[in-house]
């Protein structure tokens, strides 16, 4: 499923109307019907207040008001401003709604009438501003948003449903326009928008449901769109089937270069995750001083002892190279940083000509000289969290979080890598500049070691021979599903080992999607 910005959605609308001949007022009718269906399905209410602006979002609101009234609900509409400024399609539905006997009041910023109406309502429909709104909120919208917030602070708040996007959230960035409506439900029209997943906008949408409004696939393909959402059905189709006549060599040989005196658990977590994700063979390279402890905990892996200095990999002494046909190498979990580490990493990147995954302190070492990536010819995957991304790009964490898509895309293009920018909604950027957003996951995963598990999973799927992007998406998505399964038991008590123990369940649950009718998971 595409993930779009305001311009792309507007162009899809325009092509549908002008080139395919579906009138805008029909799309508006479909949008309003979708909002009504999702609202009635979720909420019990008797009296609704619809807040409509001048644009097409407001027209959707008029349709919602009419259809709710037709079903016997008590409905009032407040138009923010002058009805003479309505868009043509909105004007049409405004007139139809009036003829149906629905009360429409003009709101010019005087709070008394609207406050009184909101106090009696148990449902509020937010159709004030659409996807094109930017900058600070202006009157009378600003006052209307403040009154909605006031109503939500009551002892028995009204339910709030946003049409497409909550008023006060910028579509392309998720930034607040000073203040915003906090919805219980957002019904996204045709496609999800960036603000539905970018912080802080994602905190204001409530439950997200994406509804088709009859914009056909032809229109969506007509508009260049370089972003999409990782979905369960795609992952299920891409996972390689396990062949009856196969052996351990069939499913790849992963090498993990991990661990230090201070962080002995990281290679254990990454190694177990790779094995649980399906790798036929896993070799774990660790500094010699921690070899006994790691080997005793991952008995299924082959151990490779490397020279150690002061608890870390020796930057000058390398072991005899094992000329194994590794199908993927992961470097970084728990290695720490040390004098000479940058040169050590550069030597490894030159030595290994297969796909490489860089995580954790490998990224911090890389940050000293990111240009070493440009010497790589094989696939390279980076898995930074926002702090590591900031060090890689010379930015603060806040600057990274303010433009996650742009920062990830630019870095991936510049260095020709796949970049996984971790977070509540992890982003995957490709060397070509395409973006994929993962929506699986749980707060239960906010624990040390979760990233080590992800590294092992991604390396495993790459090692099994999956297409590079498919392997990355599979690792990220299934990592999140495992977290969701753990979170069902406890979002507090989950640890990284629990994620590993539920990888199998995550795979089975995802494969079941192919055998069931599923709807787009918005949350």
User: pLDDT band at residue 216, thresholds of 50, 70 and 90?
Assistant: very high
Cβ atoms of residues 181 and 126 within 8 Å: yes
What is the average pLDDT across 443-453? 97
Is-contact 67 33, C-beta < 8 A? yes
Select from 222, 191, 188 the least CA-distant residue to 18: 222
3-class secondary-structure state, position 468? helix
Whether 518 has a pLDDT exceeding 50, the answer reads no
Give Cα 208 distance to the centre of its chain.
Answer: 13
Residue 521: what pLDDT? 40
Structure tokens at 278: 């399906």
- pLDDT of residue 516 exceeding 80, the answer is no
Between CA 179 and CA 183, with CA 180 as vertex, the angle to 5 degrees is 155
Give tens-digit pLDDT for 6-54: 999 999 999 999 999 999 999 999 999 999 999 999 999 999 999 999 9
Task: Provide the whole-model pTM.
Answer: 0.94
Q: Please give the Cα distance from 374 to 357 (Å, whole number).
A: 15
**Residue-wise pLDDT tens digits, 334-376:** 999 999 999 999 999 999 999 999 999 999 999 999 999 998 9
CATH code of domain 6-224: 3.40.50.10260
Average pLDDT, the chain: 95
- 232-238+248-515, superfamily in CATH? Ribokinase (3.40.1190.20)
Residues 6+ apart with CB under 8 A from 152: 158, 160, 182
Taking the C-alpha atoms of residue 464 and residue 246, their distance in angstroms, rounded to an integer, is 12
The percent of residues in the chain predicted with pLDDT above 90, rounded, is 93
Nearest to 27 by CA among 9, 7, 13, 10: 13
Give tens-digit pLDDT for 115-161.
999 999 999 999 999 999 999 999 999 999 999 999 999 999 999 99
pLDDT category at 519 given cuts 50, 70, 90 is very low
Q: 6-224 and 232-238+248-515 share one CATH topology? A: no
Q: Is 11 within 8 Å of 18 (Cβ atoms)?
A: no
Quick one: pLDDT at residue 116?
A: 97
Domain boundaries, the chain: 6-224, 232-238+248-515
Distance from the Cα of residue 410 to its chain's centroid:
18
263 to each of 332, 357, 381, 417, 462, how far by Cα in Å? 11, 19, 22, 27, 25
Compute the distance between CA of residue 340 and CA of residue 357 in angstroms, rounded to an integer: 20
What is the structure's pLDDT at 320?
Answer: 81
Tally: H helices and E strands in the chain: 19, 19
pLDDT tens string 369-416? 999 999 899 999 999 999 999 999 999 999 999 999 999 999 999 999
Checking if the pLDDT of 324 tops 90, the result is no
Phi and psi at residue 132, in whole multiples of 5°? -90, -5
Residue 323: band (very low, low, confident or very high) from pLDDT cuts 50, 70, 90:
low
């Amino acid at each position: 499923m595409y993930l779009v910005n305001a311009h792309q959605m507007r162009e899809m609308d325009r092509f549908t109307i002008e080139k395919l001949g579906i009138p805008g007022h029909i799309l508006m009718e479909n949008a309003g019907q979708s909002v009504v269906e999702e609202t009635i399905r979720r909420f019990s209410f008797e009296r609704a207040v619809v807040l409509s602006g001048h644009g097409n979002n407001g027209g959707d609101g008029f349709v919602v008001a009419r259809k709710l009234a037709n079903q016997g609900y008590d409905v009032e509409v407040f138009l923010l401003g002058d009805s003479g400024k309505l868009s043509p399609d909105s004007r049409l539905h405004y007139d139809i709604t009036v003829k149906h006997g629905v009360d429409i009041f003009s709101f010019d910023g005087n709070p008394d009438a609207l406050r009184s109406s909101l106090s009696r309502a148990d449902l509020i429909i937010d159709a004030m501003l659409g996807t094109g709104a930017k900058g600070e909120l202006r009157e009378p919208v600003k006052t209307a948003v403040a009154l909605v917030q006031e109503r939500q602070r009551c002892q028995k708040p009204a339910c709030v449903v946003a049409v497409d996007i909550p008023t006060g959230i910028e579509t392309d960035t998720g930034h607040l326009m000073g203040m915003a409506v906090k919805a219980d439900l957002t019904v996204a029209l045709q496609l999800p928008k960036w603000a539905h997943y970018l912080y802080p906008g994602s905190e204001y949408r409530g439950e997200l449901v994406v509804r088709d409004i009859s914009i056909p696939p032809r229109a969506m393909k007509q508009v260049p769109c370089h972003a999409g959402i990782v979905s369960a059905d795609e992952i299920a189709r891409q996972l390689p089937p396990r062949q009856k006549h196969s052996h351990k060599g069939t499913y790849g040989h992963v090498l993990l270069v991990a661990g230090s005196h201070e962080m002995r658990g990281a290679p254990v977590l990454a190694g177990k995750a790779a094995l649980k994700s399906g790798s036929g063979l896993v070799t774990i390279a660790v500094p010699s001083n921690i070899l006994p402890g790691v080997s005793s905990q991952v008995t299924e892996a082959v151990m490779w002892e490397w020279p150690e200095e002061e608890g870390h990999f020796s930057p000058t002494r390398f072991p005899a190279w094992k000329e194994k046909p590794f199908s993927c190498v992961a470097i970084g979990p728990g290695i720490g940083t040390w004098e000479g580490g940058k040169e050590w990493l550069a030597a490894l990147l030159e030595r290994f000509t297969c796909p490489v995954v860089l995580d954790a302190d490998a990224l911090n070492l890389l940050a000293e000289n990111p240009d070493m990536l440009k010497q790589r010819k094989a696939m390279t995957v980076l898995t930074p969290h926002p702090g590591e991304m900031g060090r890689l790009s010379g930015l603060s964490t806040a600057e990274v979080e303010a433009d996650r898509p742009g920062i990830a895309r630019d870095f991936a293009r510049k260095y020709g890598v796949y970049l996984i920018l971790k977070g509540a909604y992890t982003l995957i950027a490709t060397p070509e500049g395409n973006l994929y957003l993962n929506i699986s996951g749980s707060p239960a995963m906010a624990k040390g070691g979760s990233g080590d598990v992800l590294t092992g999973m991604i390396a495993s799927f790459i090692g099994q021979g999956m297409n590079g992007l498919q392997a990355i998406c599979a690792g990220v998505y299934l990592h999140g599903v495992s977290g969701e399964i753990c979170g069902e038991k406890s979002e507090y008590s989950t640890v990284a080992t629990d994620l590993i123990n539920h990888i199998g369940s995550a795979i089975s649950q995802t494969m079941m999607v192919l055998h069931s009718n599923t709807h787009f998971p918005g949350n």
